[in-house]
Structure 1
């Protein structure tokens, strides 16, 4: 982990095939567009903010890199963490599917992991977020992935303290990452996008101050290895973590 790196990725790279990230899904309600990650044949994770204000109807699509395409996954229920009050902490939710998913090369579960070092030095965040800070809210139509570097919570909070006192406290259940070879970062609409290395899932994107320009700050993720987040997921879904 490093205290500071230079530059950030904006836009990332277009994903050629969903086979590269078969656990990533689209999560749409009447108020939000987010991403999520399949963790078993019956459960999908996303962030609490994606369903907090509007749990019904929830449209989940899988198996395609194109926004609005792919096959629909009917959702029976959606549950967000009881300690989340639309805040930076406990930004996690799970959704139970109406019927078990049938896995193939275009739809497979990610793996929840426990590691000695908590978060990897480098990871990918993958989603369909905004094309920057434009007022038009135009989003990418094709799934994109960004390479990020884990940075310390101390550095992350100092960056937010300089730019936004409202976001000065990033909570106890988060970690931060930023890119290192160009400007930019994860954007609105990327909420719920997994932080992953291969099939290993370490977090879900929660928020950033901006995703490009002079006020850009590190991307903040819900830490899926946090003990309270982990208990919420395992007790609610029955999905166990793997040790790595």
Structure 2
């Protein structure tokens, strides 16, 4: 049976790749690399750079084109159709290399945290899945700002920009970690909310901004737009707290 190794690679910094991940990559018969178009060619190049740093033996690499997600009102339906299409491409790419029994796919951050790679892999038949954990963007963000994730004895809520924009601040939450924000969901919050924002955390392009929303909200929006225009893509994440808790 073919085994698909889903390998967390942190935020793109080769130093985030664990020893376990390095061993899995070197033990692979085939490594899959997604292509998302010329505007996001940096994403494939980062993966290729990681391989150049960690591989001690040649491993075949197969690039595949990632299908586009349909832009429709039924968000969950569109995502499920998209995942079906990606799983089909994975299966076809693996089948084109019949000798590969250990296949590796590098995943940003960790496959368990707001990432659909495991859900896509579950659609494959005749293929087992093994997960190699990686450093998450949330860990990289708190490390970059040198702050604890939680306030004293208090919980942390991890959510998305869509949820924050549509439903507001979750009841009873003290600290919010917000991922997958297309931009500006925090503008719906009171201006005294404190934010720790980061883009490309852990990478050479890392950009950090911190302060109350009343002072830094516009700066974050402008910086985010500029960075996206410069690079053709952006990965950002932020932490929010209210009430001056530490």
TM (norm. structure 2) is 0.27
More helix by share: 2
More strand by share: 1
**Larger RCO, structures 1/2 (Cα 8 Å, 6+ apart):** 1
